[in-house]
Structure 1
């Protein structure tokens, strides 16, 4: 499966973000990619702590999802992106998955809100139900996580208990920059890959506020490719035979004696 991770710094102007994404997707050749992943909050940035995300939120049939559907059809690829989903109260931090035909085939509402490092995401957003989400691209099963979810290995493990077992975990993120944060980012992504013998592909926001460093980790824990902090497109071929071989050599999933349920 050919994957492209689009890294950019989103704005609090949703229309401007759509223009930025459209420009970035011009670099993603139609017919040569199966899956395109955009960061968390690609629709609209978090903004300042007092910025009203409820006012910015959109429904699942709103301008952002409609825009993604058009580009999914144009590219003939599945697109995953982060948005703020409108509700009657606080919005959800939601990942949407658009098929190559432009249909909304999956959503994932972020379970673990970022109440950490002095920030309170739960004051502005509501957590999703504990419902791990997967979808398929061709014959490949893909699991979804968002940013802070990365610090909770039980979510990744619960995704691996699905049928079929995912070969890829996606982590769209707006990983806030700071001391040790890049080390945490790389370490946790690699850990999730190694302990689950799975590819992990993380599309992050870049710029001054966020860490950037979108990357792909293989099931052995090796970084396949990685961006820095500027706008970038990271491409990689994810080979199911690499996953199968890693699980043959390191059958840790099969050897487990403790389950998450």
Structure 2
């Protein structure tokens, strides 16, 4: 499978960000990719009120993503925000991935909310409950969002459900050691599951915007089932296209049999 990671720099205008999806998806399709991954918060970067930006999954922004995927003939996965139930008088959204394209019409709501490093995502975001695996050209692809990558049990569950490739879509926060943690965690989850992990982040937006919250550090990476870096990006916008050898991944899963040998009673 040829996969493309679109390390974009989202702004605050959803229409302009949709145009970025159009551009990068066309380029990914021209490069022969069957799947193109966009970061968390592709619809709008963190900073503005998410409730004022959010749209339903059948709204105009998501419809635009579906039309782009249909025209390009490949599967697109991108981060957006969807209205959710309020809590204690607070209007909330879900932090959502829309996955759309040939044979795919799905979404994933972020399960693990980023209540860490001085940021409280749960104030404005409702948690998801259900892991998601889509099928692209007969291959199981698990979907995760940003802070999820710190929770290996989700990745184990996705692998149990048939995911041979797991994607991570992030708008990673800056700070001491954060970029190293991002790439290390992606590689660790690949080792945990003896599968591929494709982790796409927002490009670094500059110090002024980065100070507003988790807005990306770059460093998108594809990790092999033994944790090797197959492809990686710097901190600027980039389209990272790479081939994933799923036959080799199956052999690794058979040889390093952690998925088979895992016990649940400890």
TM-score interval, smaller chain? over 0.9
- d(CA) in 1 for partners of 2:30, 2:174: 33
State the partner residue of 2:259: 253
Name the CA shift for 1:259/1:226 in 2 (closer, same or farther; >3 Å).
Answer: farther
Question: Which structure's residues are more often strand, by fraction?
Answer: 2
- d(CA) in 1 for partners of 2:259, 2:85: 41
Contact 1:31 1:76 in 2 (8 A): no
User: How much does 1:87 deviate?
Assistant: 2.7
Name the CA shift for 1:78/1:204 in 2 (closer, same or farther; >3 Å).
Answer: same
- d(CA) in 2 for partners of 1:182, 1:123: 25
Contact 1:31 1:75 in 2 (8 A): no
State the partner residue of 1:27: 27
Secondary structure of residue in 1 paired with 2:201: coil
Residue from 43, 49, 52 that aligns with 1:52? 49
Secondary structure of residue in 2 paired with 1:145: strand
State the partner residue of 2:160: 161
State the partner residue of 1:135: 134
User: How much does 1:167 deviate?
Assistant: 0.6
Deviations 1:165-193 (A, max 9, x none): 21100001101111110111111111100
Structure 1 unaligned spans of 5+:
none
Secondary structure of residue in 1 paired with 2:84: coil
- d(CA) in 2 for partners of 1:112, 1:247: 27
State the partner residue of 1:109: 109
Contact 2:233 2:240 in 1 (8 A): yes
Normalised by the size of structure 2, how large is the TM-score?
Answer: 0.90
- d(CA) in 1 for partners of 2:17, 2:59: 14
Secondary structure of residue in 1 paired with 2:147: helix
Secondary structure of residue in 2 paired with 1:156: helix
Structure 2 unaligned spans of 5+:
87-91, 211-215
- Runs of 4 or more off by more than 3 Å in structure 1? none
- d(CA) in 1 for partners of 2:34, 2:136: 7
Deviations 1:227-258 (A, max 9, x none): 11111001111121111111122111111122
Secondary structure of residue in 1 paired with 2:187: helix
Normalised by the size of structure 1, how large is the TM-score?
Answer: 0.92
What is the number of equivalent residue pairs in this alignment? 252
Contact 1:11 1:44 in 2 (8 A): yes
- d(CA) in 1 for partners of 2:252, 2:153: 21
- d(CA) in 2 for partners of 1:195, 1:236: 21
Contact 2:25 2:69 in 1 (8 A): no
Contact 1:83 1:93 in 2 (8 A): yes
Secondary structure of residue in 2 paired with 1:171: strand
State the partner residue of 2:169: 172
Secondary structure of residue in 2 paired with 1:87: strand
Say what the alpha-carbon RMSD is for the aligned residues.
Answer: 1.6
